């Protein structure tokens, strides 16, 4: 099987590296050149253009930033779909909205390409250590044909139903993640204002039964005042936007996620988009 990986950002570069570790015949493409260098040293073929990247591929993985970018790279004029072999599989790992995944499937069908939505749970270290969890939407037989490759990048693969169900579940995860982070931050800051010790709060609060377990890791970022990026704040803002748009499509009120989105919008506007999303704490702390 010839495999192509498009989008070598924080996540994609590490996912592609894990395919290489398993001796996969891998072609990679990235808009900017820098992230391709290490993979080239590891044995990947670097394509200079999208057509070159996908023309021979049996499976194309994409891990791009937003649905708009996936649309440009795959669905647009001279996009990847037009260049791919009939019968090839496109697995999109990007976090997108379910409606976009459906649009991608309809377009892929027109070109004889099999589409699966394959977003992931986990962040930078999980991508690096092949400990991601894939949420897959799409045809079960097609999933079987890519399963070995998903296994090289993950600890678990969950098939959630037809196309768009992977994207749907991923959206729910991030809606909870963003809100839990905001709740944790506000709680710590109020605790400090009431005169409780910051270290005590950062140790004790994440261990309560009412807390989201991931706050243990984010407490360490807050303690060190180090928000080096794992999951960029700007993409959390994007995910909240996609969730609120999706809620509108379903006429489902989403009070708190809409409010949370605006806090992430303001932090992004303040230049914090490329910090980890836990930097929402710094934003609140500085009272901007």
Ligand X SMILES: NC(=O)c1ccc[n+]([C@@H]2O[C@H](COP(=O)([O-])OP(=O)(O)OC[C@H]3O[C@@H](n4cnc5c(N)ncnc54)[C@H](OP(=O)(O)O)[C@@H]3O)[C@@H](O)[C@H]2O)c1
Please identify, using beta-carbon distances, which residue of 188 and 243 lies nearer to ligand X. 243
| Straight-line distance from the first to the last Cα atom of the chain, in angstroms, rounded to the nearest whole number | 52
Q: Which of residues 89, 120, 181, 202 is near ligand X by CB under 6 A?
A: 120
Structure tokens of 189?
A: 């800051």
188: left (phi over 0), alpha (psi -120 to 50) or beta: alpha
Cβ–Cβ < 8 Å for 240, 261: yes
Give the count of beta carbons closer than 10 Å to the beta carbon of residue 249: 10
Residue 143 near ligand X by CB under 6 A: no
Cα 139 to Cα 137: distance, rounded to the nearest angstrom: 7
Cα 185 to Cα 286: distance, rounded to the nearest angstrom: 12
Please identify, using beta-carbon distances, which residue of 182 and 233 lies nearer to ligand X. 233
Taking the complex as a whole, the smallest distance from the CB of residue 234 to ligand X amounts, in Å, to: 8
Taking the complex as a whole, the smallest distance from the CB of residue 76 to ligand X amounts, in Å, to: 10
Q: Which of residues 2, 31, 71, 216 is near ligand X by CB under 6 A?
A: 31
Residue 10 near ligand X by CB under 6 A: yes
Q: Which of residues 4, 18, 27, 30 is near ligand X by CB under 6 A?
A: 30
Query: Which residue's C-beta sits nearest to ligand X?
Result: 9
Q: Which of residues 11, 81, 240, 254 is near ligand X by CB under 6 A?
A: 11
Taking the complex as a whole, the smallest distance from the CB of residue 195 to ligand X amounts, in Å, to: 35
- List binders of ligand X among 204-233 (CB under 6 A): 230-232
* Alpha helices, DSSP H, located in 84-214: 98-110, 124-128, 140-153, 165-193, 198-204
Taking the complex as a whole, the smallest distance from the CB of residue 148 to ligand X amounts, in Å, to: 21
Cα 157 to Cα 141: distance, rounded to the nearest angstrom: 14
Binding to ligand X by CB under 6 A, coded x per residue (else -) over 41-70, reads ----------------------xxx---x-
Query: Using only C-alpha atoms, what is the Rg of the chain?
Result: 20
Taking the complex as a whole, the smallest distance from the CB of residue 190 to ligand X amounts, in Å, to: 28
Taking the complex as a whole, the smallest distance from the CB of residue 95 to ligand X amounts, in Å, to: 4
Residue 241 near ligand X by CB under 6 A: no
Residue 124 near ligand X by CB under 6 A: yes
What does the H/E/C string look like for 183-226? HHHHHHHHHHHCCCCHHHHHHHHHHCCCCCCCHHHHHHHHHHCC
Please identify, using beta-carbon distances, which residue of 17 and 73 lies nearer to ligand X. 73
Taking the complex as a whole, the smallest distance from the CB of residue 141 to ligand X amounts, in Å, to: 26
Give the count of beta carbons closer than 10 Å to the beta carbon of residue 123: 20
Please identify, using beta-carbon distances, which residue of 68 and 192 lies nearer to ligand X. 68
Strands 25-29 and 45-46 come out as parallel
Please count the helices (runs of H) and the strands (runs of E) in the chain: 14, 9
Q: Which of residues 3, 8, 54, 130 is near ligand X by CB under 6 A?
A: 8
Phi, psi at residue 82, to the nearest 5°?
-70, -25
Give contact residues for ligand X (rule: CB under 6 A): 7-12, 30-32, 35, 63-65, 69, 72-73, 94-95, 120, 123-124, 230-232, 235, 239
């Amino acid at each position: 099987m010839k495999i192509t990986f498009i989008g070598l950002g924080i996540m994609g570069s590490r996912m592609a590296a894990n395919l290489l570790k398993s001796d996969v015949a891998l072609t990679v493409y990235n808009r900017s050149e820098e992230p391709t260098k290490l993979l080239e040293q590891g044995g990947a073929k670097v394509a200079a253009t999208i057509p070159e990247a996908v023309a021979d591929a049996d499976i194309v993985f994409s891990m791009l930033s937003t649905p708009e970018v996936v649309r440009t790279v795959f669905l647009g004029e001279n996009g990847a779909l037009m260049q791919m072999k009939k019968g090839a599989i496109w697995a999109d790992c990007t976090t997108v909205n379910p409606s976009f995944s459906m649009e991608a499937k309809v377009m892929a069908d027109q070109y004889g390409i099999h589409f699966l939505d394959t977003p992931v749970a986990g962040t930078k270290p999980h991508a690096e250590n092949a400990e991601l969890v894939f949420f897959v939407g799409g045809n079960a037989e097609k999933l079987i044909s890519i399963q070995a490759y998903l296994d090289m990048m993950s600890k678990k693969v969950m098939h959630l139903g037809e196309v768009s169900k992977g994207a749907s579940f991923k959206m729910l995860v991030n809606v909870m993640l963003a809100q839990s982070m905001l709740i944790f931050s506000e709680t710590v800051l109020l605790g400090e204002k009431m005169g409780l010790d910051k270290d005590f709060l950062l140790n004790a609060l994440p261990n309560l039964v009412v807390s989201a377990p991931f706050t243990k890791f984010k407490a360490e970022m807050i303690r060190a005042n180090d928000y080096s990026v794992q999951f960029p704040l700007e993409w959390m803002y994007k995910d909240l936007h996609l969730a609120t748009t999706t809620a509108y499509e379903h006429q489902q009120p989403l009070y708190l996620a809409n409010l949370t989105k605006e806090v992430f919008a303001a932090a992004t506007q303040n230049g914090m988009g490329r910090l980890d999303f836990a930097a929402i704490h710094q934003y609140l702390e500085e009272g901007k």
